[in-house]
């Protein structure tokens, strides 16, 4: 049995890292307050389905103790065996249509066959079609007494607000590295694997906050090294490049030695190393440098300035995303390094005149690409101006990004934005930024709004001849940022951990 299943928690108290969820649920259960619809939102591998099953047990348990299912009654045992008829788990990703929901609605009116409640767990519920959501909504509006819905999703923003508002919502958090590492050490003990603390930390870091990913990595490494797991073994098995190499790369770049940096990458590629992971390691090292630079106030501690670090993180993130689909795996990294070299020399020469301005050619906006229909009651110019005004005091960098785009259409809750440059578009689409922009649109328009971003000219290169313009624009954008903006971007990268600049 895979570790994640083997160690799936059976009680609320066994769930790691989601105390804010389990404590509330246990209290409600103790007081007999059971809701008819729950929304469990959070990243994959954070325990949504596990908690849903425990909740299904608890509401059906005949001897609930302190809000916990007993684990011994017939309902508890049937759920553990997976033979409990009143727990229905539906994968909404593959049953997403109106007919699937209708079939479920017909079932809903039957009494539970053995339990007190019939519990429907809808996994990946955001995948349902609009019609299916409407059908589901009708049930949520008048739920039969004996029914409980648990909607699980990694993308709660894709759910209609009408559905969300009918549910009691719980947000599942990603695990932090320390508690995930501890969890990995605990499971290793149970599995009689001797694991070094540094090895567990590295696995935790690679797992990115997901318990499930953490355990599957542990399993993967155990295949090669069943009794003892060292940090070196983790690096070896996962094909990770060691931190030394990423530090070397940064030293070379700080010295302006792009040529040797390229050789280093070439060497790694020849050894068949995982370059995607290498890029991740470099980004993590940069993150450390950024943190050092900001907390010490010394910009040069790592050899790179804050501006350079931020630029390089951006370049490597994009390169990292392209490596696995690239014809030559090392090419995206090589391009990133060359671009970084150019960025550094551009900074040094401070060639403001040679970089293009940020102003968008307003007349041509919206001419290309698929036609977008606009609600005639909406004055696009006025709405856009107001949204820009509202965003500005909140977040200067998002405001600057929006200047690279344009509102080209609005219809029934969707605002269509068009950008000249991928860089701007992708940054605006990042969840945190997108939510801010959508919130401001909602305030201006007076109803929930989602934004749909696209590139002008159907996503091709900007309609100008200079092939380096794209990056020129990005350079220009960074150059126009003040220190405050840099700190904000830095804080975003560090997850808001930096308290002060000096």
Phi, psi at 292, each rounded to 5°: -60, -50
Give the range of 59-67, 216-224, 287-295, 460-468 binding Zn ion by CB under 5 A. Answer: 59-67
Shortest separation between residue 210's beta carbon and Zn ion, angstroms: 29
Does 61 contact Zn ion by CB under 5 A?
A: yes
- The three-state secondary structure class of 455 is strand
Does 80 contact Zn ion by CB under 5 A?
A: no
Does 73 contact Zn ion by CB under 5 A?
A: yes
The residues that bridge with 152 in the sheet, in sequence order, are: 40
Shortest separation between residue 246's beta carbon and Zn ion, angstroms: 51
Contact between 440 and 451 (Cβ < 8 Å): no
Shortest separation between residue 73's beta carbon and Zn ion, angstroms: 3
Select 73 or 461, whichever has its Cβ closest to Zn ion.
73
Select 78 or 279, whichever has its Cβ closest to Zn ion.
78
Among 35, 70, 174, 487, binds Zn ion (CB under 5 A): 70
Give the range of 54-62, 387-395, 413-421, 485-493 binding Zn ion by CB under 5 A. Answer: 54-62
CA distance 331 to 336: 8
Phi, psi at 92, each rounded to 5°: -65, -20
Contact between 462 and 421 (Cβ < 8 Å): yes
Written as six digits, the tokens of 333 are: 């990294």
Shortest separation between residue 75's beta carbon and Zn ion, angstroms: 6
Select 75 or 397, whichever has its Cβ closest to Zn ion.
75
Shortest separation between residue 114's beta carbon and Zn ion, angstroms: 12
Task: State the number of binding residues for Zn ion (CB under 5 A).
Answer: 5
In 3D space, the residue among 333, 346, 345, 349 whose CA is nearest the CA of residue 261 turns out to be 333
Give the range of 73-81, 96-104, 154-162, 357-365 binding Zn ion by CB under 5 A. Answer: 73-81
Among 39, 76, 449, 490, binds Zn ion (CB under 5 A): 76
Shortest separation between residue 47's beta carbon and Zn ion, angstroms: 20
Give the range of 44-52, 66-74, 314-322, 470-478 binding Zn ion by CB under 5 A. Answer: 66-74
| DSSP summary character for residue 84 | -
Select 73 or 238, whichever has its Cβ closest to Zn ion.
73
Q: How many CA atoms lie within 13 A of 379 on its CB side?
A: 6
Shortest separation between residue 12's beta carbon and Zn ion, angstroms: 13
N-to-C CA span, the chain: 52
| DSSP summary character for residue 112 | P
Contact between 329 and 275 (Cβ < 8 Å): yes
Q: How many CA atoms lie within 13 A of 320 on its CB side?
A: 15
Shortest separation between residue 152's beta carbon and Zn ion, angstroms: 23
Give the range of 61-69, 110-118, 210-218, 362-370 binding Zn ion by CB under 5 A. Answer: 61-69
Give the range of 63-71, 92-100, 173-181, 401-409 binding Zn ion by CB under 5 A. Answer: 63-71
Select 119 or 140, whichever has its Cβ closest to Zn ion.
119
Shortest separation between residue 119's beta carbon and Zn ion, angstroms: 14
Select 69 or 472, whichever has its Cβ closest to Zn ion.
69
CA distance 371 to 409: 9
Q: For strand 405-411 and strand 414-419, is the pairing parallel, antiparallel, or unpaired?
A: antiparallel
**Secondary element (H or E) of residue 210:** none
- Number of helices (H) and strands (E), helices first, in the chain? 22, 10
In 3D space, the residue among 210, 212, 171, 211 whose CA is nearest the CA of residue 24 turns out to be 171
Query: Which chain residues interact with Zn ion by CB under 5 A?
Result: 61, 69-70, 73, 76
């Amino acid at each position: 049995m895979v570790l994640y299943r083997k160690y799936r928690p059976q009680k609320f108290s066994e769930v790691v890292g989601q105390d804010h969820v389990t404590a509330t649920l246990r209290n409600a259960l103790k007081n007999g307050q059971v809701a008819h619809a729950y929304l469990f939102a959070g990243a994959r591998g954070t325990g949504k389905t596990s908690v849903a099953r425990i909740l299904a047990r608890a509401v059906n348990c005949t001897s609930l103790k302190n809000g916990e299912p007993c684990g011994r009654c017939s309902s508890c045992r049937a759920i553990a065996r997976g033979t409990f008829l009143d727990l229905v788990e539906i994968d909404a990703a593959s049953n997403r249509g109106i007919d699937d929901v209708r079939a479920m609605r017909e079932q809903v009116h039957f009494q539970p066959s053995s339990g007190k409640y019939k519990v429907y767990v809808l996994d990946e519920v955001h995948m349902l079609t609009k019609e299916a959501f409407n059908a589901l909504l009708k049930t949520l509006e008048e739920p039969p007494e004996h029914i409980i819905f648990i909607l699980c999703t990694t993308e709660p923003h894709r759910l209609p607000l009408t559905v969300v508002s009918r549910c009691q919502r719980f947000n599942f958090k990603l695990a932090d590295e320390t508690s995930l590492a501890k969890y990995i050490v605990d499971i290793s003990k149970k599995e009689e694997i001797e694991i070094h603390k540094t090895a567990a930390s590295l696995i935790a870091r690679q797992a990115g906050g997901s318990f499930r990913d953490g355990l599957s990595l542990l399993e993967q490494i155990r295949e090669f090294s069943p009794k003892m797991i060292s940090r070196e073994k983790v690096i070896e098995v996962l094909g990770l490049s060691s931190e030394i190499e990423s530090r070397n790369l940064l030293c070379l770049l700080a010295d302006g030695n792009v040529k040797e940096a390229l050789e280093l990458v070439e060497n790694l590629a020849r050894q068949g190393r995982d370059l995607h992971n290498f890029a991740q390691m470099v980004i993590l090292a940069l993150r450390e440098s950024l943190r050092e630079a900001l907390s010490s106030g010394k910009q040069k501690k790592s050899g790179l300035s804050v501006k350079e670090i931020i630029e390089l993180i951006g370049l490597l993130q994009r390169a990292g995303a392209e490596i696995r689909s690239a014809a030559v795996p090392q090419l995206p990294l090589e391009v990133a390094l060359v671009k970084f070299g150019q960025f550094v020399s551009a900074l040094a020469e401070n060639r403001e005149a040679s970089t293009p301005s940020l102003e968008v050619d307003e007349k041509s906006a919206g001419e290309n690409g698929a036609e977008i229909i606009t609600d005639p009651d909406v004055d696009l110019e006025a709405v856009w101006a107001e949204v820009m005004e509202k965003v500005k005091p909140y977040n200067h960098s998002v405001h600057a990004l929006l200047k690279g785009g344009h509102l080209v259409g609005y219809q029934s809750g969707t605002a269509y934005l068009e950008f000249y440059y991928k860089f701007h578009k992708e940054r605006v689409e990042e969840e945190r930024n997108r939510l801010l922009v959508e919130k401001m649109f909602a305030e201006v328009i007076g109803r929930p709004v989602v934004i749909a971003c696209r590139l002008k000219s159907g996503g091709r290169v900007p309609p100008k001849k200079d092939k380096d313009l794209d990056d020129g624009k990005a350079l220009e954008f960074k150059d126009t940022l003040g220190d405050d903006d840099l700190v904000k971007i830095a804080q975003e990268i560090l997850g808001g951990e930096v308290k002060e600049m000096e």
